[in-house]
Amino acid sequence: MHSMQAAQFAIETARAAPIEPDLVALLRGLIDLTYLGEDDDSAVDELCAKAAGVAAVCVYPEYIARAKNKLEDKKIKIATVVNFPHGNSSLDTVLQEIDTATALHADEIDVVLPYQDFVNGQFHTVNHFLTAVRKRCGNKIVKIIIESGALLKPALIRLAGQMVIDSGADFIKTSTGKIEVGATLAAAYTLLTLIEQSKSSAIGLKLSGGIRSVADAHAYLYLARAVMGKAWLNPRTLRIGASRLIDDLS
């Protein structure tokens, strides 16, 4: 089957698949429960109150200490964002943001790729950025947000994903959730097949942006299982960044 036909078949099959309770049962443990709205202490408190059993809670750096204080389950990781949301801060600023997140004891750092530079073909600049970020983050889990909705073409999404893999990051993340196009099954398929073909067991995928219901998330899990196998559906290699999904699971 032609690759484009294979992709379309896989996507349509995932979208139409009946809900499988075994896949739904995995969802909570894969969620990066996220609040990246306006300054609101109560919203962060509410987020943490819902967080039992999730993989991580993702908040702006100024809320890291509050989230750590509110979370009773100390196994839940604290993630934060850097170069967010536009990906256009200077490298020096990004490195300073990473230092701040590290000093605040974030466990995981989600960094926006300078995707405008990438789209403009400034690949050397992007590679330099990725290398510097990976080094500065030390032993922290690093997720690089490629903003797949701004790249659009599968070839560009695949190239961005390959650059992230080559940098030694821990996860490719699809989206900030701050532009019109977030995660899509098409982008997920492109990145999943890239990971499978690269044989890079160390790299994971974080799907984010617009995944609001169990039905939405189920399609992504179904697709990931089809490409990578069920054992890959664990928080070391697959995350779902979401804020509303947890309510549909309750």
230 is catalytic: no
Cα–Cα distances in angstroms (integers) from residue 121 to residues 151, 162, 214, in the given order: 12, 15, 37
99 is catalytic: no
Q: Which two tokens stand for residue 155?
A: 């070839």
Closest-CA residue to 132 (of 109, 158, 150, 152): 109
How far, in Å, CA of 250 to CA of 247, rounded?
5
Residues 6+ apart with CB under 8 A from 183: 148, 174, 175, 207, 208, 209, 210, 211, 220
Annotated active-site residue in 68, 77, 206, 216: 206
Phi, psi at residue 77, to the nearest 5°? -80, 155
110 is catalytic: yes
Annotated active-site residue in 77, 140, 173, 216: 173
Cα–Cα distances in angstroms (integers) from residue 195 to residues 142, 152, 202, 232, in the given order: 16, 18, 9, 11
How far, in Å, CA of 54 to CA of 8, rounded?
31
Annotated active-site residue in 32, 68, 77, 110: 110
Residues recognised as catalytic: 110, 173, 206
